[in-house]
Amino acid sequence: MLGLYYDGGLELRRDLPVPEPGPGEALIKVMAAGICNTDKEIARGYMDFKGIPGHEFVGVVTAADDPDLVGKRVVGEINCPCGICYLCLGGKENHCRERNTLGISGRDGAFAEYMTLPVSNLHVVPDTMPLYSAVFVEPLAACFRITEQVHISPSHRVAVLGAGKLGLMAAQVIRLNGCAVLAVGRHAHKLKILDRLGIKTVMEKDLDIRERFDVVIESSGSPDGFNLARSLVEPGGTIVQKSTFVEPLSVDISSLVVDEIRVVGSRCGPFEPAIRALMRGLVHVQELIDRRFPLEMGMQAFEYAMRDEALKVILEMKTYPAEGLRQPGELAEDSII
């Protein structure tokens, strides 16, 4: 099959074997997949990954033990835990030490025609959800992880650092709590998306450095973001750290103690709230789509996505067969987008 493959360098390959689903796994025909910042980091060597990257996807189940699942359009959680260790049994499956992670660690991902994933990871997407909204379920779930971990009160002042894909969604999710949100970015055309939604924005260079926030969401994707977050957070406040990067960071720990700052690392989140929010139109995601590329142009898609100005780049698997499967995604694509 066709797919992108990383092994020290990224390449488009036509000779990849269609994966065999293991016990409890489904075979999924990928319809569309989003390129995430983590994918870009992987293409730079993050996680020492080898294989097919990609973890934001929507696809159709083509084989599974449960016949009812076949033909269904699904999205999927990316962590595949062992299910039997004390972390799994204690409800921390996403932190299982034996886990592999779709397209990130130990498991081939979604930038190919077919992929596999345990059935227990799958969430059926409502038929009326547009194909290109479904691609955002995974990163949107990561935004709902913030409010799962940290109580954001309607009286809080919250700053969201970074107007990339994650920041643009996080600002919308945080706003649902009724609090005052300020989104801080470096690209006017990205902030404009939030302006149109009525969310207050400011260019980082124009930020009033005397302003302080109860909660700062660090989703800038840049190591500088942490220290900016530190300078913006109120004493007793919280920094939610979303960005990952390879370099270690020099941190003034004493200042965290004196000001009693709380730093909360935040990763993957719950899918169902993300699906509900999309279905109810509470979060706008299609505005974040910058450009769609067919899988055949995967290399160009990555090159395009690497630009600082880029927003969400989506790979489309146009070759999916019509072997009698219902393909609501196609319908959605034609009729709704």
Residues found near a copy of itself in the complex (CB under 8 A) = 87, 92, 94-95, 149, 223, 226, 234-236, 241-246, 248-254, 256-267
CB of 78 to a copy of itself, least distance (A): 13
Q: Return the number of other C-beta atoms located less than 10 Å from residue 9's C-beta.
A: 8
CB of 63 to a copy of itself, least distance (A): 32
Q: Smaller CB distance to a copy of itself: residue 175 or 230?
A: 230
Q: Is 335 exposed, middle or buried (0-12, 13-18, 19+ CB in 10 A)?
A: exposed
Q: Smaller CB distance to a copy of itself: residue 206 or 260?
A: 260
277: Cβ contacts below 8 Å, ≥ 6 apart: 140, 144, 173, 176, 283
Q: How far apart (Å, rounded) are the C-alpha atoms in residues 322 and 253?
A: 58
Q: How far is CA 281 from the centre of its chain?
A: 18
Q: How far apart (Å, rounded) are the C-alpha atoms in residues 211 and 67?
A: 56
CB of 263 to a copy of itself, least distance (A): 4
Judging by DSSP bridges, how do beta strands 233-241 and 180-185 pair with one another?
unpaired
Q: How far apart (Å, rounded) are the C-alpha atoms in residues 231 and 229?
A: 5
CB of 75 to a copy of itself, least distance (A): 21
CB of 225 to a copy of itself, least distance (A): 9
Q: Smaller CB distance to a copy of itself: residue 173 or 261?
A: 261
Q: Smaller CB distance to a copy of itself: residue 9 or 235?
A: 235
Q: Smaller CB distance to a copy of itself: residue 195 or 252?
A: 252
